[in-house]
Amino acid sequence: MREHQTDSLFIQNLAVETFIGIHPWERTTPQNVLISLELETKTATAAAHDDIGNALNYEVLAQRVTEFVAQAEFQLIETLAEGIAALVLDDLPVTRISVEVRKPGAIANAETVGVRIQRVRDN
């Protein structure tokens, strides 16, 4: 009997400047958002061969997400999170993703606000 293995790759607090928000000044002034990702993917082959060619390259992943977020102009962080999840699930060998988008300083008296979503690849 083969054991079930669950492997994750994660990136925490990827800082990206983008236009996001519902207020008029937010549509013209870029803001930093913090993106955290956790992806369920298979790592056994990469580990067995110690070869980046068999791995999900987190540097490439971070660059793709950074480019997407930097070019986005959403009003809601919920929409941004959905876009990131769709980008990753459509293009990479990932079965499940958790996306957290935080917007530091969005409201008075709070360090940050954010949203966290989890999505699973349709089979």
Tens of pLDDT, residues 104-118: 988 889 999 999 999
Is the separation of the CB atoms in 69 and 19 below 8 Å? no
Q: Distance from CA of residue 15 to its chain's centroid?
A: 11
> Any idea where the domains of the chain sit in the sequence?
8-120
Alpha carbon distance 18, 116 (integer Å): 18
Residue 98, SS3?
strand
Tens of pLDDT, residues 24-78: 999 899 999 999 999 988 877 777 788 777 678 889 999 999 999 999 999 999 9
Alpha helix positions (H), 51-117: 58-71, 77-91
- Residue 13 confidence class, pLDDT cut points 50, 70, 90: very high
Helices and strands counted in the chain (H then E): 3, 4
Of the options 3.40.718.10, 3.40.50.620, 3.30.1130.10, 3.10.310.30, the CATH number for the domain spanning 8-120: 3.30.1130.10
User: Is residue 2's pLDDT more than 90?
Assistant: no
